[in-house]
Amino acid sequence: MPQKFVNAAFSPTATDGSLPVLEGSLGPSAVDIQTLHARHGLLAYDPGFRSTASCKSAITFVDGDNGVLLYRGYPIEELAEQSSFVAVAYLLMHGELPDAKQLQDFEVSIHRYNLLHEQVLSFYRGFRRDAHPMAVMVGVVGALSAFYHDVMDIHNPENRMRAALRLVAKMPTIAAACYTYSIGRPQRYPNNKLSFSGNFLQMMFGLPTEEYVVDPILARALDRIFILHADHEQNASTSTVRLAASSGANPFACIAAGIASLWGPAHGGANEAVLKMLGEIGKVENIPKAIARAKDKNDAFRLMGFGHRIYKNFDPRARVIQQSAKEVLGHLGIDDPLLEIAMRLEEIALKDDYFVARKLYPNVDFYSGILLRAMGFPMNMFTAIFALARTAGWVSHWLELQQESHGIDRPRQLYVGKTLRHYPGKGHLQK
């Protein structure tokens, strides 16, 4: 069948067959195709939704061509340098940065909700100790709806905010318990005298037999990681959260769905894939061979952590985390073969014409994997830490969607299967 085409023309005035153009405050405009099927009998075909605005949102803006990432209008570089993760979480959830009193009250709320129900802790014993932390987090977060019935009425704004606070507050406790359970160490309780990041460090690495002293440089670096990963517009996991939320599902189920989506190696698992790639390279001497393989179209090998689907010039998050990685590595004086490979690989790739021409620069996943490894986090915890940070963005999108009334999301499809045919009768099953 020959391909058909529809011509589209932009007009300053409305006509019978025209579709309105919606203007945002930043970024490209959007053609409103909500009436396309009803008026013209057509569907928009956009696999992966890469040219589709699935919603209106005031939370995060990404300009991939110019390397811009804004949370509620604030550049990510400024927030990472001057703010804290707790203040950024407040910003994402409420729309404005908190003043001193609002920040204090928000921190008090986090402290109020950061404990896990003791019966929730018993869930961990139902998992194998070698289970991936993300598998455990999907189960535990989803199960929270069985404990907090007081927030199940999502039509109540106070309930919604309480549920969002619970998720942000409990996620570090949940993630840390995944690690301590896997190594047979007693689960550490939160310490409300510590910062959000410092508290997570002590729950991860502290021992019940001695006091844990938080390294301020590590805590600050971790806080930056949390800020950089807090939100990133309509990515796969955020879109999953919003899609689940459109059905009226409870917030814990929605965030559990987001965690499951984040687990994919092309999404939150990318920093884990970076270190696996570095391990495959093995030695600095093997880097030229690895680069040659990456250039070979017939070789499945790829340099993980290079380039980005959205950012075409540079990843603004990468510049921040690169500096943090250098600070932490210098502070700790770590001699790690994989870290040496990573630094040399970065140096070579940034000067190679092949990678420069294709804008394959190190992204946030490349540096975050290096940084988290240097701080002592096991590789299987990388994505769990990503989920911990991204929860602030997920609950913000969940809150935003609850204020809308567009109903359940229901994408359509271009059907390419068999046309109508009739059942041949019972006889065709007889030999």
Catalytic sites, residue numbers: 308, 365
Quickly list DSSP for 190-222: P-TTS-HHHHHHHHHH--TTSPPPP-HHHHHHH
- 320 vs 325: CA distance, rounded Å: 9
- 127 vs 124: CA distance, rounded Å: 6
Region of residue 352 (left: phi > 0; alpha: psi -120 to 50; beta: else): beta
> Shortest CA distance to 366 belongs to which of 307, 419, 326?
307
- Residue 223: phi and psi, rounded to 5, are -60, -40
* Cα dist from 374 to 221, 224, 227, 285, 333, whole Å: 11, 15, 19, 22, 10
The C-alpha angle 29, 31, 33, rounded to 5 degrees, equals 155
Instruction: Put the strands of the sheet holding 68-71 in their side by side order.
Output: 60-63, 68-71, 74-75
DSSP assignment letter at 362: B
- 190 vs 428: CA distance, rounded Å: 66
Q: Which residues contact 132 (CB under 8 A, 6 or more apart)?
A: 263, 380
- 112 vs 173: CA distance, rounded Å: 13
Q: How many CB atoms lie under 10 A from the CB of residue 374?
A: 20
Q: Render the burial of 379-402: b for 16+ CB within 10 Å, e for the rest.
A: bbbbbbbbbbbbbbbbbbbbbbbb
